[in-house]
Structure 1
Amino acid sequence: MDTIKGYSGRVVTTLALCFAIAVFEGFDLQSMGVAAPRMRAEFGLDNAQMAWAFSAATLGTLPGALLGGRIADKIGRKKVLIFSILLFGIMSLLTAFANNYNLLIIIRFLTGLGMGGALPMMITLTSEAVSDQHKGTAVSIMYSGIPFGGMLTSFVAMALAGDSEWRHIFYIGGLAPILLIPLLLKYLPESKVYLAQHNKPSTPYWEVLFAKERRFSTLQLWVSFFCTLVVLYFLLNWLPLLMGAQGLNKTEANYVQIGYNIGGIFGSILMGMMLDKLKMSSVIKFIYVGILFSLCCLAISPTVALLALSAVGCGLFIVGGQSALYGLAAMFYPTAMRGTGVGAAVAIGRIGSFAGPLLAGLLLSFGSSSTMVIGSSIPIILIAAIAALLLVRRKNQTVTPVLKTSN
């Protein structure tokens, strides 16, 4: 955090407001997970239907990220971010009024559309507010707001004693970002780097992603995003229900979820700072070895205390690792195409976000135990680790020569 202290009030304002948005997005992302046991009883949903309820929002984030990133390179990051926040705030609020399963799916898809547009803008604005050597730290500080928001969701859920009170989670998750919009309009600055370069001719979409110097690195980034987010979102959505299947009550399951988010908060900041200060290959190895160890512990831990501790480890390395990948994506693409490049990577990752909860629901529908479901994520993490290591394997430990001219 000390690396950010020397920056101007403009930078601090950008980081603070983007962090606040991340908190609200994290709150909404995990609202379905903590409300799921109560919603399931009210709507009478089976595992397959719950999987679609979880995945509808993440499916919406895919076109949101693709369109939002591309449009932002043309009209500005701030406009796209504010529209996206308004959309996901309104739709989160409307989730509380859904009175049937089909309407719930539609509303959650539109919620995801707004969240998908917001995340690449937060990453881009944050990374463009600081110098190259601090991008990883800045993005990780911002991204730590997502697990912080998830932790708040668990506390709100624990405070709501009645099963019928699950709607209050969405009242809070919808109103909070809407109320933030006036502050964003007044105080959030547009990226100076974008303003200096936005009049330059835009690079064709295909060339942004697959120009000769970026082709393989883009694909490696996509694979690591996809596989890591499969596991991250599977745990994000199914962890309370999986803990319930292991015999934990609602309060104990919420403690495990809180542990996951506490780990995510510290992991996001730690991994981003490590990315700026240490060899990228060393950081990636540390992250994925930590993920594998934590998943194994979560699958076999016999007590609530050990499950909570394992969840802290999962949050530390999985959420922290994804934060580092977001920082890496922001470093990789130069300013004129950063929105497009980061948006595309986020969109590919969101396919993994969509697939993760569905895969878990499918395995549970076949009668798999929670231990088997958690264990099935280990091969996916191995693929992510290989792709990430290939990405950062460069002689000078930078992602690509454009790093030196990205600002």
Structure 2
Amino acid sequence: MQEPKLFINDIIESNPLGGFQKLVMLLCALVIIFDGFDVLAIAYAAPALSAEFNIAKGQLGLVFSAGLIGMMIGALVLGPLGDKYGRRQAVIASVVIFGVFSVLTGYITSYHELILLRFLTGLGLGGAMPNATALMTEYVAGKMRNIAVAVIFLGMPIGAITGGLLAAHIIPAYGWSSIFFWGGWMPLLLVPVLFFWLPESPRFLTAQNKDNDALLRRIARKIARNQTIPPSAVFIHPAEEAQQHSPIKALFMPGYARDTLLLWAAFFLNLMVAYFLYSWIPTLLVGSGYALGQASTTVILLNIGGAISPFASAWMMRRWGSRPVIVGYFLLGALSMMLLGKLSASLAMLQVMAFFAGFFIVGGQISLNALASYIYPTAIRSTGMGWAFGIGRSGSIIGPVLAGTLIAMALGLDVYFMVFGAVCVLTATATLFIRRHEKPVETEDQ
């Protein structure tokens, strides 16, 4: 009797989101939560570190950028490794790296040690995000992709908000090192959970020319709870054009080169703005006479806006497609940035505009993440996302350094935010010309 042949994609697309997939989503979200916590730990600790080690504001830009350079290299290296060895292994390795080096940051005794350990922490932070995103999106149906990305990237602002609330209490009581100890031990405690319960991506497994049907049958049975998967079933391993090229070269296959370059430009420009906000808002507001607690609350509101936004954009993209939604987000982000600088004399208005900046800029980045997972096929998805994040990280390095240069010139808050608002307009332009935008769901169903 001939063994039944199955497509894992058909099983995923034809079944509702079940408990097994929700567990994968939760574990990926936890990785992103700890990623978000560790990324911003340095921003919350910066005022105390500056005081203890006599670090000038201009030198802080180098500290912020050291971590971001690590994140860039981590994304560029660990993204392709996720396509070669599996998303699961790349996620776990990334969490171990950023957990260990975050703990070690709590023991630094000099400015140069701080720069080195932020760089090493960044390697893990950079690798976690593209691989966790690729893993999660490969467990859900296409119609659920944007919601899944919104849910797991809710972890980024949750981590940042938790860090802000925690920092406001533990740094005054226990010193700056406490925020790094929390940021390191929490992900390290998650590693055994990931090892035992985080599964490999079934779409990745079918993209491999290996005898892994037994593992695919186990995964398929957990996804298709009301469908019988025969013990003798085998899975079709579709050959993708991308598999004929090296993962990085495949990003420039016919029809992909333009979208790859424009996606890189959008990531570069938007992360330049986002990390200006993340890295400098606490220091700028404290320098303008606001209390650290008020500055931390402003960052929390920025992240609340970013947390709410992806759910709104996911609904809008199902209705109107990704192009008008994402482009509109970045244009409104530009307006929010300009108003944030103009209205900074009023704490209430500053915090309102910080919320909207988070909604459109941080939320817009999460929509770009979802678009990146849509653009690339399974064989190069981690590479495509990893390189987009990696190129984007170079923008996140330049953003804080550019801000440090502007601040050293003492041009004023309104000028700083006006400059980065103009960058948002460029982001909108790059996004506009990407070809492979998601279509409205209604259009696809017709």
The bucket for the TM-score relative to the shorter chain is: over 0.9
For 1:27-176, list aligned pairs within 5 A.
27-160=37-170, 162=172, 165-176=175-186
- Where does the alignment leave 5 or more consecutive residues of structure 1 unmatched? none
Unpaired runs of 5+ in structure 2? 1-12, 210-238
| TM-score of the aligned structures, taking structure 2 as reference length | 0.85
CA distance in structure 1 between the partners assigned to 2:69 and 2:32 by the alignment: 19
How far the C-alpha of 1:57 sits from its partner, in A, is 0.8
- 2:384 is the alignment partner of 1:341: yes
Instruction: Give the corresponding residue for 2:295.
Output: 253
| Alpha-carbon displacement from aligned partner over 1:33-83 (angstroms, at most 9, x marks no partner) | 111111111110112210011111110011211111111111110001101
Structure 1: distance between partners of 2:358 and 2:399:
16
Distance apart, 1:364 and its partner CA: 0.9
226 and 129 in structure 1: CA distance in 2 versus 1, 3 angstrom threshold: same
Check conservation: 1:134, 1:276, Cα contact below 8 A.
no
Q: Which of residues 295, 306, 326 is equivalent to 2:349?
A: 306
Mapped partners of 2:436, 2:142: distance in 1: 19
User: What amino acid is aligned across from residue 304 of structure 1 in structure 2?
Assistant: L
Q: Percent identity at matched positions?
A: 35
Q: Return closer, same or farther for 1:385/1:271 CA change in 2, 3 Å cut-off.
A: same
Give the corresponding residue for 1:315: 358
Confirm or deny: 8 A CA contact 2:71 2:126 kept in the other structure: yes
In 1, Cα distance between the equivalents of 2:102 and 2:16?
A: 37
Contact kept, 8 Å, 2:375 with 2:436, in 1: the verdict is no
In structure 1, C-alpha distance between the alignment counterparts of 2:425 and 2:76, rounded to whole Å: 27
| Partners of 2:356 and 2:137 in 1: CA distance | 27
CA displacement at 1:392 relative to structure 2 = 4.8
- Where 2:245 maps in the other structure, the secondary structure is coil
* C-alpha distance in structure 2 between counterparts of 1:225 and 1:124, whole Å: 17
Displacement, 1:161?
A: 5.8
Query: Counterpart amino acid of 1:228?
Result: N
Letter paired with 1:294: S
Q: CA deviation at 1:262?
A: 0.9
Q: Where do 4+ consecutive residues of structure 1 move more than 6 Å?
A: none
Structure 2: which amino acid aligns with 1:383? L
Aligned position for 2:19? 9
The aligned residue for residue 211 of structure 1 is: 253
Aligned partners of 1:156, 1:47: CA distance in 2, in Å?
Answer: 24
For residues 42 and 370 of structure 1, what CA distance do their matches in structure 2 show? 26
Give the 3-state SS of the residue equivalent to 1:129 in structure 2. Answer: coil
Secondary structure of 1:285's partner?
helix
Q: C-alpha distance in 2, partners of 1:94/1:110?
A: 10
Shift of 1:393: 7.5
Q: Distance in 1 between matches of 2:381 and 2:20?
A: 20
Taking the TM superposition and a 5 Å limit, the aligned residue runs for 1:182-331 are: 182-199=192-209, 201=243, 203-301=245-343, 302-331=345-374
C-alpha distance in 2 between matches for 1:202 and 1:172: 44
Supply the distance in 2 between the matched residues of 1:238 and 1:163 (Cα, whole angstroms). 23
Displacement of 1:278 in angstroms is 2.4
Q: Which has the higher mean CA deviation after the structures are superposed, 75-84 or 243-252?
A: 243-252
Q: Distance in 2 between matches of 1:70 and 1:120?
A: 10
Q: Report the 3-state secondary structure (helix = DSSP H, G, I; strand = E; otherwise coil) of the residue aligned with 1:73.
A: helix
Tell me, in whole angstroms, the C-alpha distance in 2 between the residues paired with 1:21 and 1:278: 31
| Secondary structure in structure 1 of the residue aligned to 2:289 | coil
Cα RMSD (Å): 2.0
Q: 1:390 aligns with which of 407, 427, 433?
A: 433
Contact kept, 8 Å, 1:203 with 1:337, in 2: the verdict is: no
Moved more, 280-289 or 33-42: 280-289
Deviation at 1:222, TM superposition (A): 0.6
Return the alpha-carbon distance in structure 1 between the equivalents of residues 331 and 435 of structure 2. 16
TM-score computed with the length of structure 1 as normaliser: 0.93
Alpha-carbon contact 1:280-1:392 (below 8 Å) kept: no
Shift, 1:116, TM fit: 0.8
CA contact (8 A) 1:275 1:324 kept: no
- What is the CA–CA distance in structure 2 between the aligned matches of 1:161 and 1:62, rounded to whole Å? 28
